[in-house]
Amino acid sequence: EKVGNNTTIANWNTYDLHVEYDYGSSFYSVRLGPAHIIVLNPYTDNRAGDNSRQLTWLRQELASVNRTETPYLLVLTHAPWHSTCDKHRAENELATKYLKNAA
């Protein structure tokens, strides 16, 4: 099945999305001046729980940020951190739990 902006999938949480990325990892970070920007993939395979590749990377990434040199830390993801839309409510809770577990 082709996945794109017009794909209709009833529940992203149960959809197995395994996408090959020719341009690198689907989660990454960038330092831009005084900001450290972390971009997460909310649709990665999180069934490994605390041992997932993304969570392991995130913990290392957060520990490596020198907040004296880089006072601004931004964490972005495609799924909204907060939404009043019922379709995203489970994603909000999962993303918040995921980030709190990384700390």
Query: How many domains does the structure of the chain reveal?
Result: 1
Does residue 1 lie in a domain region?
no
Torsion, Cα 23 27 31 35, to 10 degrees, reads: 140
Q: What is the largest CA-CA distance in the chain?
A: 46
Does residue 31 lie in a domain region?
yes
Structural domain harbouring 27: 12-102
Which residues have a catalytic role annotated? Answer: 88
Does residue 2 lie in a domain region?
no
What is the per-residue pLDDT for 15? 47
What is the per-residue pLDDT for 1? 46
pLDDT digits (tens, 9 = 90+) for 14-66: 444 555 555 567 889 999 999 999 998 877 765 556 678 888 898 899 999 99
What is the per-residue pLDDT for 97? 73
Does residue 51 lie in a domain region?
yes
Does residue 4 lie in a domain region?
no
pLDDT digits (tens, 9 = 90+) for 8-22: 545 555 444 555 555
pLDDT digits (tens, 9 = 90+) for 65-81: 999 999 999 988 877 66
Crossing angle of the two packed helices 89-102 and 53-64, in degrees rounded to 10? 50
Please report which confidence band the pLDDT of residue 85 belongs to, taking 50, 70 and 90 as the band edges: confident
What average pLDDT does range 91-103 have in this prediction? 68
Does residue 46 lie in a domain region?
yes
What is the per-residue pLDDT for 53? 85
